[in-house]
Chain A
């Protein structure tokens, strides 16, 4: 069975500070990994995705994530956060095997950026 764990339910940072949101996954093979963001009263939007190649992937709005097979992790980072980054962030996994791209979601991390 596959799973995604986001150990931090809530993270608070000051505007301009750096950010890391943690994600650990469990999968029988190499999965597709995603980070989605959910702004208040909106649907989920894709930030970035990883399948293979360079373990550091770039996303929108200055976000990046680093894949580590040895640690089964896919942490999200940003060098300098803005108040508009306040949102809920989901780490998501999709298996590559099987006939259907069923997504497994982490519980989400709520990010609050303080002025």
Chain B
């Protein structure tokens, strides 16, 4: 059974609109992450969280907010969506230390018109 799920899987939004991408994990991991994937780039980190109530900026946070209301849930919020935010977004979870690997969701394809 999938341990990291994302919703919606596909989303079309209009410029200036608000978009919320949701992520749920059943791994009981402390850390959660939001990435975007664009052609020619690997995944780039937008925001991450150490646990419920915490959010931190990643490498490309501009234009995005994040919310971690619980251990299981982590949301990415685009308050004013722009066409440059058209991308595929991945959520992941992981734990402190250990083998440092992360577990990824299936992705959300966002198109901003």
Residues of A within 8 A of B (CB): 4, 9, 32, 34, 36, 41-46, 49, 51, 90, 92, 94, 96, 100-108
Q: A101-B31, A108-B42 are in contact. Are A43 and B4 (CB under 8 A)?
A: yes
Decide if B45 touches A49 in the complex (CB within 8 Å). no
Min CB gap B24→A, angstroms: 14
CB proximity of B74 to chain A, nearest CB, Å: 15
Bound form: Cα–Cα A94–B107 in Å: 21
| A to B CB contacts below 8 Å, 19 in the list | A32-B99, A36-B104, A42-B106, A43-B90, A43-B104, A43-B105, A43-B107, A44-B90, A46-B103, A49-B101, A51-B99, A92-B42, A100-B48, A101-B94, A101-B96, A103-B45, A103-B100, A105-B42, A106-B42
Residues in B lying within 8 Å of A, measured CB to CB: 4, 31, 40-45, 48, 50, 58, 90, 92, 94, 96-97, 99-107
CB of B100 within 8 A of CB of A101, answer yes
Query: Please, which residues of chain B bring their CB within 8 A of the CB of A51?
Result: 99
A102-B42 contact, Cβ under 8 Å, with A43-B4, A44-B104, A45-B104: no
| Of listed B90, B100, B102, B106, residue having the most chain A CB within 10 A | B100
The prevalent SS among residues of B at the interface is loop
- Min Cβ gap A105→B in Å is 3
Contact A103 B105 (CB under 8 A): no
B4, B42, B43 — most chain A CB neighbours (10 Å): B42
Residues of B within 8 A of A106 (CB): 42
Closest to A104 in B: B42
- The answer to whether A103 and B102 touch across the interface, beta carbons within 8 angstroms, is yes
Closest A residue to B96 by beta carbon equals: A101
Q: Which residues of A contact B104 (CB under 8 A)?
A: 36, 43-45
| Residues in B whose Cβ lies below 8 Å from that of A44 | 43, 90, 92, 104
Contact check: which of B40, B48, B100, B106 meets A43 at CB < 8 Å? B106
Contacts of B42 in A (CB 8 A): 4, 90, 92, 104-108
Specify which chain B residues have a CB less than 8 angstroms from the CB of A43 in the assembled complex. 4, 90, 104-107
**Smallest CB-CB separation from B105: which chain A residue?**
A43
